[in-house]
Structure 1
Amino acid sequence: MTYSGAVKVGGGADVHELTALMISKVAVGPMNNNAYLLRCRATGEQLLIDAANETGTLLQLIGDDSIASVVTTHRHGDHWQSLEAVVAATGARTYAGRYDAEGIPVPTDVPVEDGDTIEVGQVSLTARRLIGHTPGSIVLVYDDPHGHPHVFTGDCLFPGGVGNTFEDPRAFTSLLDGVEAKLFAELPDESWVYPGHGHDTTLGSERPHLGEWRARGW
C-alpha cells in the first residue's frame, strides 16, 4: 500500500515504510490531532511524537514493544492529553522544547534546544525551535540518508500556511521567518511534512506560496 498520510479519527494508522525507519500516523479526537510512532528498523526501538489523546488508541499503536521516548512538539493541551498515561504505561523518557516545557504538566526529562539530536535506535532526529505558535515549539527533521528529509512540524507548518499565531503580527513574522530560514532554506522540495493536524504535504508544494502567506499575514 502506498502511504498517503490521510487518516481519520476512529480509523486505522497509515504507515510510511522507509529504509531505516517506519512511520505510523494515527488521528485522535476531539481535535483531529495526529500522533506519529517512529520505529527504527534495525533495532526495533520506538519513539512517539505527541501523545495527544485517546490513550487506548496510542497504546494499541505502540504495541507490545513499548516506546523508549515520547516527544511533545509544544505546550498546547491538545498535544499532551494522554502524555501522563502513556508515560505511566511505558516508562518512556519525555522530551519537549526547553521554552515550552514549563507549560506541559508532565515533567520533561530532556529539555530540547535548537539543533539538539534525539535518537530512536540508529536513527537521528534534529530538533529545530520555531517561535510564534508558542515560545518553544520544536519540529523534528529526519534527514534520511537513503532518500529525502522527513519533517514533523507540530502546529508550525501545515498545507496552506504556518500555524496559528493568534492575530499577533510579531508572532506571525517570527514563525514565518523561522520556517523559511530553518526549513525551506535548508531542505529540498521533496521533504515530506507531517503536521500536528490534518493531511501531509511537501516543502515543494508549499514553497511557491510563502510570499502569499506573508502578504496576507497568517
Structure 2
Amino acid sequence: MQQLLAVAIDLVAITVLILGIYFPRHRRRDLVAAYIGVNVGVVAVSMVLGSAAIGAGLGLGLFGVLSIIRLRSREIEQHEVAYYFASLALGLIAGLGSDLGWIAGALMGLIVGAMFLADHPRLLHRYRQQTVVLDRAVSDAAELDRALEEVLGGRVHRADVKRLDLVNDTTVVDVRYEVARDGDRRREPRERVADSGRASLAEVRS
C-alpha cells in the first residue's frame, strides 16, 4: 500500500515538474516525453530492484548509468540536464524509498520545489551568457568590453576570448553580462538624441 502511495505521489510530482513548471517555461515538447518516460521507467525498474536484497546498490548503479546518458541527436542545455536529474531522483525515491512513508513524499516535494525556485524566470533574470562574434579583431580588454556593451546593451561582467582571428578580422567571445533595466533602456535613446542635438547646434554655431 505504501509503495502504491509513493508511486501516486511520484506521478503527481513529475506531472507538476514537467507540465506545470518545465513546459510552460521552455516549450520543448520532445523533452516532455523524455522526462516522463525516464521517470516512469526508473520507478518501474527500482520497484523490481527494491524487492531484492541488493536492490539499493543496483539502484545507485542505475542512477549512475542513467545520469551520464546524453542525447546524441540534439544538444540539451544545462537547465534541461537538471530536469533529467530531478526526474531520475523522483523515480528512484518512489521506487526504492516507499518504506520511508511521508519522508519520501517530502523529499519529492523538495525536489519539485527546488526546481521551481532555481529555474524561476525572475531569479537573476537580467543576467545572460552568450557567444558573440564581432566583425573586427579586438585584442584590448577595455575596448572589447565597450564593444560588447554597445552590442548587447548591458554591463559586461566577464568576457573570455575564444578566438581572435587577425586574418578574417573577427573575434569570438564568451560573454557573461547583465542587461540594462527597462528604465535605463528608455533613457538611453533620449540621451543620445540630446547629445546629437547639442553636437548639431555646436556645428551650426561654428
Aligning the two structures, in what range does the TM-score lie when normalised by the shorter sequence?
under 0.3
TM-score, normalised by the number of residues in structure 1: 0.21
Rg: which structure is higher?
Answer: 2
More helix by share: 2
More strand by share: 1
